[in-house]
Structure 1
Amino acid sequence: MFAMEAKNGSRSETVMSPERRTHLGDLIRARRAELGESLDTFAPKAVDPDSGVRVTRGYIYRLEKGEKVTPPVYEELKALAVAARLPLERLQDAAGSQFHGVDPLRSGSGEATAYVRKLDQLPADQRDRLLRLIDTLVPPESGDE
Structure 2
Amino acid sequence: MTGDAPTKRLPPRWFIRTAWVVHRAIYRVTRGRRGLWKPKPGKWGTIVLRTTGRRTGAERAAIVAYLEDGPNLVTMAMNGWADPEPAWWLNLQATPDATVDLPDGGRLAVRAREAEGAERDRLWAAYLVTDENLASYTARRNRRTAIVVLEPRR
Is the structural similarity TM-score above 0.5?
no
TM-score normalised by L of structure 1: 0.29
TM-score normalised by L of structure 2: 0.28
**Higher relative contact order at CA 8 Å, sep ≥6: structure 1 or structure 2?**
2
Larger Cα Rg: Structure 1 or Structure 2?
1
